[in-house]
């Protein structure tokens, strides 16, 4: 066990060294969600909420959840690049703990997401976003966001290991947008056609967005449907389901890389 901790900390440290060596791409991933809030607030704020200012309390928690979805791409790029370049094979040829490489990836990506959440939170505050929930609720909200990230992380690890090449990452980069829009991140599903609204309400992203809005004490969606009324439960169930499915699949894919 101690070798697992030792090895995965070293491998996570490798990613931190990448951030130091190439701060610009790292800062771009931190600030991109902020750009999304500014853009969506400016474009849709007036139409959706009457003004950009009134839209902020709704959209900031939504984009906090969306930021976790953006992390999927970071994970997949890192995993696919290492697998393609043979770096993963080199790690696999070393006497490391068998879980260390993927655990190191998890640690590094969760750390990146903590930084991205901090950046988005600071930007939210600058735009006038506030929470009214107690400290416990606020911590629980951030916990749920990171739990979603953990679920997506294992999806990203699995997809990255199975990807035939870096081109596959581009497909995921594109898919992030329909998944992001077909959720309650930007809009209340009550304003959508009913079938589209149902898709949006079942989206795991929506569960987390709804749950954290409630915990932060921010305005939420209209509700009335089962998934919309059970955001808290779904925001725990979805990520746990993703981990339960994709962590074992990733472990198998890692052992069988390139067969």
Partner 1 sequence: MDAAIEAGAVRKHYRGARRPALDGFDLRVAAGSVCALLGRNGAGKTTAVRILTTLLTMDDGTAAVAGCDVRSDGDGVRRAIGLVGQNAAVDEVLGGRANLVLFGRLRGLAKAAARARADELITRFGLDDAAGRAVGTYSGGMRRRLDLAASLVVPPSVLFVDEPTTGLDPDARREVWATVRRLVDDGVTVLLTTQYLEEADELADHVAMLRDGRVVLEGSPAELTSLVGETRVEVRFATADDAAAAGRAAGPYAVGPVDVDGVAVAVPVADAGAVTGFCAALAATGPAPLDVAVRRPTLDDVFVHVNTVEEVR
**Of 31, 51, 220, 46, whose CA–CA distance to 141 is shortest?**
220
Q: Which stretch binds partner 1 (CB under 8 A): 16-24, 59-67, 168-176, 196-204?
A: 16-24
Considering the complex, what minimum distance in angstroms separates the CB of residue 16 from partner 1?
Answer: 11
26: left (phi over 0), alpha (psi -120 to 50) or beta: alpha
Considering the complex, what minimum distance in angstroms separates the CB of residue 75 from partner 1?
Answer: 16
Does 47 participate in binding partner 1 (rule CB under 8 A)?
Answer: no
Count of C-beta atoms within a 10 Å radius of residue 149: 28
How many residues interact with partner 1 (rule CB under 8 A)? 22
Does 174 participate in binding partner 1 (rule CB under 8 A)?
Answer: no
Does 11 participate in binding partner 1 (rule CB under 8 A)?
Answer: yes
Nearer to partner 1 by Cβ, of 1 and 94: the residue is 94
Does 258 participate in binding partner 1 (rule CB under 8 A)?
Answer: yes
DSSP state at residue 51 = S
* CA triple 234-236-238, angle to 5 deg: 60
Q: Which stretch binds partner 1 (CB under 8 A): 3-11, 188-196, 205-213, 244-252?
A: 3-11
Nearer to partner 1 by Cβ, of 74 and 218: the residue is 74
Does 14 participate in binding partner 1 (rule CB under 8 A)?
Answer: yes
User: Sign of dihedral through CA atoms 126, 189, 48, 73?
Assistant: positive
**Of 198, 182, 207, 163, whose CA–CA distance to 72 is shortest?**
163
Does 222 participate in binding partner 1 (rule CB under 8 A)?
Answer: no
Long-range own/partner contacts, residues 37-43 (CB < 8 A, 24 or more apart): 37/63, 37/120, 37/123, 37/124, 37/127, 38/127, 40/186, 41/127
Does 7 participate in binding partner 1 (rule CB under 8 A)?
Answer: yes
Residue located via tokens 């067969």: 259
Each residue 72-111 as x (binds partner 1 by CB under 8 A) or -, in order, gives -------------xxx-xxxxxxxx---------------
List contacts with partner 1 (CB under 8 A): 7, 10-11, 14, 17-18, 21-22, 85-87, 89-96, 257-259
């Amino acid at each position: 066990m101690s070798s697992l901790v030792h090895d995965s900390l070293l491998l996570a440290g490798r990613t931190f060294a990448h951030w130091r060596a190439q701060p610009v791409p790292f800062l771009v991933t931190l600030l991109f969600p902020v750009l999304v809030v500014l853009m969506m607030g400016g474009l849709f704020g007036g139409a959706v909420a009457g003004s950009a200012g009134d839209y902020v309390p709704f959209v900031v928690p939504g984009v906090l959840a969306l930021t976790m979805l953006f992390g999927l791409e970071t994970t997949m790029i890192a995993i696919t690049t290492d697998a393609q370049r043979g770096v993963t094979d080199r790690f696999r040829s070393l006497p490391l703990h068998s879980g260390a490489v993927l655990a190191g990836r998890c640690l590094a990506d969760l750390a990146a997401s903590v930084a991205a959440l901090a950046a988005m939170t600071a930007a939210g505050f600058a735009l006038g976003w506030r929470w009214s929930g107690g400290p416990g609720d606020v911590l629980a909200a951030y916990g749920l966001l990171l739990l979603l990230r953990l679920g997506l992380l294992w999806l990203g690890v699995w997809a990255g290991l199975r990807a035939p090449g870096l081109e596959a990452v581009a497909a995921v980069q594109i898919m992030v947008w329909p998944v992001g829009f077909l959720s309650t991140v930007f809009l209340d599903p009550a304003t959508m056609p009913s079938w589209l609204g149902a898709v949006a309400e079942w989206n795991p992203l929506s569960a987390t967005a709804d749950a954290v809005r409630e915990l932060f004490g921010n305005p939420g969606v209209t509700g009335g449907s089962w998934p919309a009324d059970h955001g808290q439960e779904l925001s725990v169930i979805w990520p746990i389901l993703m981990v339960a499915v994709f962590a074992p699949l990733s472990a198998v894919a890692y052992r069988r890389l390139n067969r």
